[in-house]
Amino acid sequence: MIRHHLSDALLTGYSAGQLPEAFNLIVATHISPCDECRARLHAHDAVGGALLDSADGVAVSDDSLAATMARIRAMPAAPRPVRAERGLFPAPLRDYVGGDADAVRWHSVGGGVKQAILPTAPGATARLLRIPGGVSVPDHGHNGLELTLVLQGAFADETARFGPGDLEIADEDLEHTPIAEPGPDCICLAVTDAPLRFNGLIPRLLQPFLKI
């Protein structure tokens, strides 16, 4: 059961196409299995559509429709979708990575923790984290927004417990020490729009190399 969901601000930004690519990825990955947030997104889309319907029209050239249809006809045919077997990653993340968790190229960052930075446009950074059960992430604060979506396992911090499908939203007011629950590795998709603010000296020294 998913207990921690997207905020209205994130859903509005996603619906309006105003979020950075990395944030779009984590929102799409969360709403894929989350019926509640998917329904809320449809409501935001409906409001946006109503606003467009009430907006003043803009004049276009007489041949704009014909030119648009010609461009559509000139596009190569889309490949036939292949139904993927059920895996750990929801479909948006699986499509983005090019496979499931076994396709990820993990890199060690110390303490048994591994990460994989995903290529995204400027504005925010997306990474996959793999944290062994019982291991904690160094205590830190935030210079911006950090979204963490649990894909496998669970972690807990000073605010709550987060299991599969749960999304933690951390801003400048939160300082925490996430700890992975004992059991299977905690695999998360994490997105940040600013560097973290580590309290310990060693994490601060390693931060430029880890790009977090």
Query: How do the domains of the chain map onto residue ranges?
Result: 1-212
Nearest to 100 by CA among 148, 152, 135, 146: 152
Amino acid at 17: G
Reported CATH class of domain 1-212 = mainly beta
pTM (2 decimals)?
0.83
Start-to-end Cα distance in the chain? 30
Cα separation, 172 vs 147, in Å, equals: 12
Question: What is the pLDDT tens value at each position of the chain, 212 positions in all?
Answer: 999 999 999 999 999 999 999 999 999 999 999 999 999 999 999 987 776 667 777 788 888 889 999 999 998 876 665 555 578 999 999 999 999 999 999 999 888 999 999 999 999 999 999 999 999 998 899 999 999 999 999 999 999 999 999 999 999 999 999 999 999 999 999 999 998 888 887 777 767 766 77
